[in-house]
Amino acid sequence: MFWWKNPKRSKFGRWLDNEGITQVDFSEKSKVSRRTLTRLCNEKEYIPSPQILRKIMNVVKKVDSSKHPKDFFDM
């Protein structure tokens, strides 16, 4: 996705882009709907519910164990 740089991407969306992970792949691995994942990647103000956050962070930790929710979301 390096050919398309969306300046409105959230920190989480930019992380996915840098890791080369598609939203569809991440959605399938995390069992989070594609609609929710689109909000996570494009809405900077969006903060997921604790259940969604847990699912997301389980998959993120498999890719990069040093990441924490505060790296992506203003909590």
**Tens digits of residue pLDDT in 60-69:** 999 999 999 9
Domain at 27, CATH number:
1.10.260
Going by C-alpha positions, the residue among 54, 52, 66, 69 that lies closest to residue 11 is: 69
Structural domain span for residue 24: 11-70
Full-model pTM = 0.84
pLDDT tens by residue, 29-48: 999 999 999 999 999 899 99
Whether 6 is in a domain gets the answer no
Q: What is the pLDDT of residue 75?
A: 75
Whether 53 is in a domain gets the answer yes
Number of separate domains in the chain = 1
Whether 1 is in a domain gets the answer no
- What is the percent of the chain with per-residue pLDDT over 70, rounded to a whole number? 92
With a cut of 70, say whether residue 57 has pLDDT above it. Answer: yes
